[in-house]
């Protein structure tokens, strides 16, 4: 049933967020440290195990895949509810700081990509993989 | 006429999340139409949709004088719920479904390097620009540097260090500008910076850090890259909040003296 997949997703997110909160607490900052990232790792691990042992029926998978396919509309809604006006009226210093840091960060991507091994293998796995709808 | 609108509005407001699905669905539909007909697929539909979203947010901010973009209009409040942290994180985690663990582990080292490089570089650039604009005390420089990291790191750092509210507001604005730019520019620079595989997406997420920017930018570039970038980006804010008010502040104070 679809709800099994959605419930699995919910449990992973909640467990991840609680773990992230506890890590924040342990190092003394009031923020969620990597909660979503931990939840993603949990989902990858648990759903992988369940798939191998045959517990991920198609309807169960659909309960997860729906949310992954609704992702872009959610990002659009997120963009529509940002405080854009404040960003634009925040003053020259804020705009320049934002622009410079983004350009510098873009430029760093190829530099750091060169650290470590070649990425040919990963490129091929991406080409064969697919998530959600193909938009 | 006015009564008619009031009747409609009461329904839209009461079922605000459903209204949001309808409105956002329409925006996406129109955007994909523009992508196909006007730009002949040269600009991705989701990139146009995100731009339309940002434009609506700007209009909403001007009309209502609020902070939540178009979601400050009462009958569109559901867009705030739909695009809020709860559903956003839920959908981000769902994108990891079907990703293989070894792909993440292989990029482990470069992921960590990109996180550290991203956080430190943002603080450095933000602090230098703050200095250039006359904010020459270590507290203000660190806070604005935090804003150049993300709009959460800035206020968290500023609050911890006791920065003025003007400086904190400035740091939030810097973070917002960064998030908007990453959302809109990523599809255009993707080719130049080699953003076409999981490994560079992971590094991209670690360097940029702004979860909303990375999520939106990668979604508009190649949806399959989203889980990789989002994965590292979620650690960025935590790392920034950890390093900003501690190590980075101490280093900046040692350099500028006050």
For residue B104, what pLDDT is reported?
66
The verdict on a CB contact (< 8 Å) between A80 and B83 is yes
Q: Where are the domains of chain A?
A: 1-82, 84-130
Same domain, B73 and B124: no
Query: Which of B50, B83, B116 is the last residue in one of the domains?
Result: B83
Q: In angstroms, rounded to a whole number, what is the distance separating the alpha carbons of residues A41 and B222?
A: 21
Same domain, B33 and B126: no
| Domain, as residue range, for B57 | 1-83
The verdict on a CB contact (< 8 Å) between B67 and A83 is yes
Residue range A35-45, pLDDT digits in tens: 777 888 899 89
Domain total for chain B?
Answer: 2
Same domain, B167 and B39: no
Same domain, B68 and B173: no
For residue A130, what pLDDT is reported?
44
Please tell me which of the candidates A13, A82, A106 has its beta carbon nearest to residue B176: A82
In a 13 Å sphere around the CA of A46, the CA atoms on its Cβ side amount to: 21
Residue range A14-52, pLDDT digits in tens: 999 999 889 878 877 666 777 777 888 899 899 989 988
Selected for mutation to probe chain A from B91, B191, B217, B243 (highest A CB count within 10 Å) is B91
For residue A111, what pLDDT is reported?
87
**Which helix (H) or strand (E) segment is B216 a member of?**
helix B211-221
Radius of gyration of chain A (CA): 19
The verdict on a CB contact (< 8 Å) between A125 and B198 is yes
Q: In angstroms, rounded to a whole number, what is the distance separating the alpha carbons of residues A100 and B33?
A: 33
For residue B103, what pLDDT is reported?
66
Per-run averaged pLDDT (10 residues), chain B, 258 residues: 89 95 96 88 77 88 88 93 88 80 72 90 94 90 92 82 82 86 90 88 91 88 88 82 84 86
Range of weakest confidence among A79-83, A92-96, B61-65: A79-83
- Residue A102 has a CB neighbour count (10 Å cut-off) of 26
ipTM over 0.85: no
Q: Which residue of A has its CA nearest to B26?
A: A73
Query: Which of B54, B83, B112 is the last residue in one of the domains?
Result: B83
Query: Which of B83, B117, B138 is the last residue in one of the domains?
Result: B83
A119: chain B residues, CB-CB within 8 Å:
197, 199-200
Residue range A114-133, pLDDT digits in tens: 775 554 445 545 554 444 44
Selected for mutation to probe chain B from A13, A28, A58, A79 (highest B CB count within 10 Å) is A79
Same domain, B125 and B213: yes
For residue A30, what pLDDT is reported?
67
Same domain, B10 and B56: yes
For residue B247, what pLDDT is reported?
86
- Measured CA to CA in angstroms, residue B139 lies from A87, A94, B148, B173 at distances of 22, 16, 14, 17
Same domain, B67 and B106: no
- Residue A9 tokens, joined: 């997703």
| B170 domain-assigned | yes
Enter the pTM of the model.
Answer: 0.74
For residue A61, what pLDDT is reported?
92
3-state secondary structure of A64: helix
């Amino acid at each position: 049933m679809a709800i099994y997949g959605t419930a699995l997703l919910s449990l992973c997110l909640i467990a991840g967020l609680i773990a992230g909160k506890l890590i924040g607490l342990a190092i003394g900052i009031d923020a969620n440290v990597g909660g979503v990232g931990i939840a993603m790792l949990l989902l990858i691990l648990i759903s992988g195990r369940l798939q191998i042992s045959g517990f991920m029926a198609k309807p169960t998978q659909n309960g997860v895949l729906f949310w992954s396919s609704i992702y872009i509309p959610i990002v659009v809604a997120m963009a529509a509810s940002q405080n854009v006006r404040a960003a634009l009226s925040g003053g020259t210093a804020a705009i320049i700081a934002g622009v410079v840091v983004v350009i510098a960060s873009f430029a760093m991507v190829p530099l750091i990509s060169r650290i470590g091994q070649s990425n040919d293998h990963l490129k091929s796995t991406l080409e064969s993989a697919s998530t959600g709808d193909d938009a | 006429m006015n009564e008619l609108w009031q009747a409609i509005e009461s329904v839209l407001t009461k079922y605000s999340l459903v209204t949001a699905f309808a409105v956002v669905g329409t925006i996406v539909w129109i955007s994909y139409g523009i992508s196909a007909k006007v730009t002949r697929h040269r600009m991705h539909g989701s990139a146009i949709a995100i731009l339309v979203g940002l434009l609506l947010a700007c209009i909403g901010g001007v009309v209502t004088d609020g902070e939540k973009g178009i979601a400050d209009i009462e009958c569109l409040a559901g867009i705030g719920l739909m695009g809020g942290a709860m559903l956003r994180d839920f959908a981000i985690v769902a994108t990891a479904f079907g990703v293989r663990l070894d792909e993440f582990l292989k990029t482990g080292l470069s992921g960590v390097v990109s996180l550290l490089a991203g956080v430190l570089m943002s603080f450095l650039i933000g602090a230098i620009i703050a200095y250039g604009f006359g904010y020459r005390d270590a507290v203000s420089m660190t806070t604005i540097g935090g804003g150049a990291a993300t709009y959460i790191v800035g206020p968290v750092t500023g609050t911890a260090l006791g920065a003025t509210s003007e400086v904190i507001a400035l740091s939030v604005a810097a973070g917002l500008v960064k998030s908007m730019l990453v959302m809109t520019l990523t599809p255009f620079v993707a080719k130049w910076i080699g953003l076409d595989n999981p490994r560079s997406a992971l590094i991209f997420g670690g360097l940029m850090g702004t979860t909303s920017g990375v999520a939106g930018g990668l979604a508009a570039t190649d949806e399959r890259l989203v889980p990789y970038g989002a994965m590292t980006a979620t650690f960025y804010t935590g790392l920034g909040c950890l390093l900003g008010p501690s190590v980075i502040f101490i280093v900046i104070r040692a350099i500028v003296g006050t």
